[in-house]
Amino acid sequence: MRIIGTPELTAFRDQCRTWLGENAPAKPWPMDGEALRDFDLAWQRRQYEGGWAGVSWPKDYGGLGLSLLEQLVWHEEYARAGAPQSRSMFVALSHAGPTLIVQGSEAQKQRHLLPILKGEENWCQGFSEPGAGSDLSNLKTRAEIDGESLIVNGTKIWTTYGHLARWQELLVRTDPEAPRHKGISWVICDMRSPGIEVRPIVTMSGIAHFAQVFYDNVRIPLSNVVGGLHNGWKVAMTTLGFERGTGTIAHQYELARTVDELITMARDLPSSDGRGRAIDDGTTATDLATLRAEVMALRSLAAMTISRGLRQAVPGAEGNIAALYYAELTRRVHAAALDLLGPRGLERTGGHDWPLAFLESFKWGIGGGTSEIRRNTIGERVLGLPKGPSAR
C-alpha cells in the first residue's frame, strides 16, 4: 500500500500528455454509421503514426510493450485528455488482436495484427446468438468441414458494429456430437464473404449500434481457425480474462466528470419550488453526495484491480466486482441527471445530450455479461459458493 511514483513514470506521463494534448481529436465526433467507423480508423492511424498504437501489445507485433504501470499512465492521460474511446476499433485492439497474439499461427499474426494497429482494418465479435446469450455455450451456428474449408450456416446477433466491421471473431459449432464446450471453434471470418447478410439493429437510444448477421453457406478457409479445431471455448475464455483494469479507466473518469458536472449544475439550477437552488433540497444533496462517494469508490476498486494485476499475470474473477459496480452506478448517475433536470431532461439539444446518455447507460448491465451473471460469478468464483446451473 503506497503511492507509486518514479521520475521515469513522471517523464513518461509528460510525454503522453503532450502528445495527446496536441493530437486527440476535439468533439463532436460522428456517433453512427460509416462516419463513425472512418473516424475511429483515422484516430487509430494517427496514434500509429505518432508511435502510440498498441500500448499493451508486445513489441514483436508492432506494439509498444509498455509495462502495466506505463499502460496505466497512458490510459489515465488518455482519459484526462478526453480522447475518443476506441468504439469500432475496440474488438480488434482489445479482443481479437490479443487473442491472435496468444493463440494465432504465425501466418495469422502476420496477416492481421499490423492492419489493426495501423487503423486499416477493424473487427467485430460474433459470439451471441438468438438462443445463446448468457448461456453462450449453447451456441448453434454450425460449421461443417469440407476439404480445406468450413461451411458456416446460422446466425449471430447483437454483433456490435457488425455492419461496419471488416473481420469478425466468430464462434461456431464444429462438432455437434461433442459435449457443449468441446465442439466449438474460434474462427476468423471475412465480413465480405459471399453468403453473409448483415442487418443493423437500432437500439433504444436510436442508434444502429449492433447487427444481426446471417450465414448462408459461408465458406471460411480452415486455416482461419485459431487455437485449434474444436478448441474455441478455451480460446474465447482466454481473452475474456485479459481485462487487467486499465481498459475501464476512461469510463470511470467520464463518470466522475459527469457527477461533478451534476453537482455544479445543482448549485446553479433553481429548486423545483423555485425558492432556492436545487442543491438546497435534502434529497438532491443526498443523491449527489452518494453518487460522488460511489464514483470515488469505483476509482479505488479499479486501483485494487490494478494492484492485483501488478502481482499476478492472469487476473481472477474479482474483476467482476468493479464491473458490476460500474454497471449499476452508471445507470444511477444518469437517472439522477434526469431527476435533477426535470422537464429540461427531456430535451435533446446540442451540448450534453442527457437523454442519450441516460438511454445508453442501460447497456452496461447487459452487454459483456449481465449483472445477474456477474453476481453468480462473484458468488461462485470469488466467494466459493456452490454452483448453480449458469457457471460460465
Partner 1 sequence: MIVDLLPSEEQQLIDDSVRALLAERLPVERLRETASHGGAAERAAWGDFVALGLFGIGIAEADGGHGLGAAEEALVARALGRHLVSLSVLAQMAAPHLATDDALRTRLISGETRATFATVVDQGTAQRIDGDNADWLILLGEGVALVDVPAEAAPIACLDETVSLARLDGSFPAFERADSADRISLLLAAYLSGIAQATLDMAVAYAATREQFGQPIGAFQAIKHMCADMAVRGAAAEAQVLHAAVAFGAGLDDRAEVACARLLATDAALRNANANIQIHGAMGFTAECDAHLYLKRARLVSVLGSSRQAEQERLLAGVA
Ligand X SMILES: Cc1cc2nc3c(=O)[nH]c(=O)nc-3n(C[C@H](O)[C@H](O)[C@H](O)COP(=O)(O)OP(=O)(O)OC[C@H]3O[C@@H](n4cnc5c(N)ncnc54)[C@H](O)[C@@H]3O)c2cc1C
C-alpha to C-alpha distance for 118 and 32, rounded to whole angstroms: 22
Closest by CA position to 84, among listed 122, 114, 47 = 47
CB of 257 to partner 1, least distance (A): 11
For residue 169, the SS3 value is: strand
Minimum distance from CB of 205 to ligand X (Å)? Answer: 10
Stretch that binds ligand X, among 124-132, 229-237, 254-262, 340-348 (CB under 6 A): 124-132
* Contact assessment for residue 117 and residue 60, using Cβ atoms and an 8 Å cutoff: no
243 is catalytic: yes
Of 128, 174, 239, 284, the one binding ligand X by CB under 6 A: 128
Residue in 70, 129, 169, 243 annotated catalytic? 243
Separation CA 358–CA 361 (nearest Å) = 5
Angstrom distance (rounded) from CA 377 to CA 371: 10
Binding mask 74-113 toward ligand X (x if CB under 6 A, else -) reads: ----------------------------------------
Cβ at position 217, least distance to partner 1 in Å: 41
| Residues making contact with partner 1 (CB under 8 A) | 1-5, 9, 69, 72-73, 76, 260, 263-264, 279, 285-286, 288-290, 292-294, 296-301, 303-304, 306-308, 310-311, 318, 321, 324-325, 372, 374-376, 378-380, 382-388
- Rounded Cα distance, 46 and 43, in Å: 5
> Are the CB atoms for 88 and 263 separated by under 8 Å?
no
Q: What is the dihedral of CA 71, 68, 90, 354, to 10 degrees?
A: -60
Query: What is the size of the binding site for ligand X (CB under 6 A)?
Result: 22
Restricted to residues 193-252, the positions that interact with ligand X (CB under 6 A) are 209-210
Nearer to ligand X, 115 or 368 (CB): 368
> CA-to-CA distance for 232 and 226, rounded, in angstroms?
8
Sign of the four-CA dihedral 255, 261, 267, 273: negative
Q: What is the largest CA-CA distance in the chain?
A: 78
Q: How many CB atoms lie within 10 A of CB 246?
A: 23
Q: Is the CB of 32 or the CB of 318 nearer to partner 1?
A: 318
Residue whose CB is less far from ligand X, 20 or 187: 187
Contact set for ligand X, span 330-389 (CB under 6 A): 363, 366-370, 372-373, 376
- Catalytic sites, residue numbers: 243
Residues at the contact surface with ligand X, assessed by CB under 6 A: 124-128, 133-134, 158-160, 209-210, 363, 366-370, 372-373, 376, 390
